[in-house]
């Protein structure tokens, strides 16, 4: 009986509203970047032959809040996950798991998605007139001067481009983990109690 009564709570522990917010946030992000292909006045890596300024009016609806919503969801989700962690091994496992979860897609995107985007951009600009295979061999060559006028960062030839969110999320996660561990140290407890007491008194 006790097992049966515990199962619904485990099922209901998932925050479905966060799932729907995540769907809305990334759907708007996809729409926004598709719109960048057709915007007339906004710069982008690659442009369609059919552009219009009216697309920009609709994109302005999403622009102020699209990334704020994604960061909010990421922060709330991280908070719920951290609240369930206790013990050194659990923290180590969580940090390793989340690092793989974030950095593996970043590395895959860096080697498979970013080169495609850069190839399309440079081809449209008339900088290159070569096959993708020739381009990719140049891309992985750190001494190739073909990319001197293009952004560099993680890899000598190119940065993470639109995958910056994964990199930044991983960096912020490390900072939050360190701060959380520090806040849970025994000598911090009296300070937390004092702060909470001050808040209750209206300070």
- pLDDT means over runs of 10, the chain (203 residues): 44 73 88 90 88 89 86 90 87 94 93 90 92 92 82 74 90 92 75 58 51
Q: According to the model, what pLDDT value does residue 5 have?
A: 45
CA distances from 43 to 37, 51, 95 (A): 9, 12, 37
The two tokens of residue 88 are: 């050194």
What is the Cα 179 distance to its own chain's centre?
20
Q: Which helix (H) or strand (E) holds 140?
A: none
The two tokens of residue 83 are: 């609240």
Q: According to the model, what pLDDT value does residue 22 have?
A: 86
Contacts of 42 (CB under 8 A, 6+ apart): 36, 56
Give CA angle at 156 (153, 158), nearest 5°.
Answer: 60
Q: According to the model, what pLDDT value does residue 153 have?
A: 72
- Looking up tokens 């890899």 gives 155
């Amino acid at each position: 009986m006790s097992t049966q009564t515990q199962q619904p709570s485990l099922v209901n522990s998932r925050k479905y509203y966060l799932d729907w917010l995540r769907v809305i946030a990334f759907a708007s992000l996809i729409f926004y970047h598709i719109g960048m292909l057709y915007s007339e006045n906004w710069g982008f890596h690659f442009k369609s032959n059919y552009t219009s300024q009216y697309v920009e009016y609709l994109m302005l609806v999403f622009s102020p809040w699209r990334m704020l919503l994604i960061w909010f969801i990421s922060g709330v989700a991280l908070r719920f996950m951290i609240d369930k962690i206790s013990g050194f091994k659990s923290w180590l496992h969580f940090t390793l798991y989340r690092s793989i979860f974030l950095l593996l897609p970043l590395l895959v995107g860096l080697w498979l998605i970013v080169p495609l985007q850069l190839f399309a951009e440079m081809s449209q600009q008339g900088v290159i007139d070569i096959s993708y295979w020739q381009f990719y061999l140049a891309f992985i060559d750190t001494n190739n001067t073909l990319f001197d006028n293009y952004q560099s960062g993680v890899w000598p030839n190119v940065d993470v481009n639109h995958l910056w969110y994964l990199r930044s999320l991983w960096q912020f996660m490390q900072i939050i983990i360190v701060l959380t561990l520090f806040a849970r140290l025994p000598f911090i407890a009296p300070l937390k109690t004092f702060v909470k007491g001050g808040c209750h008194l209206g300070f």
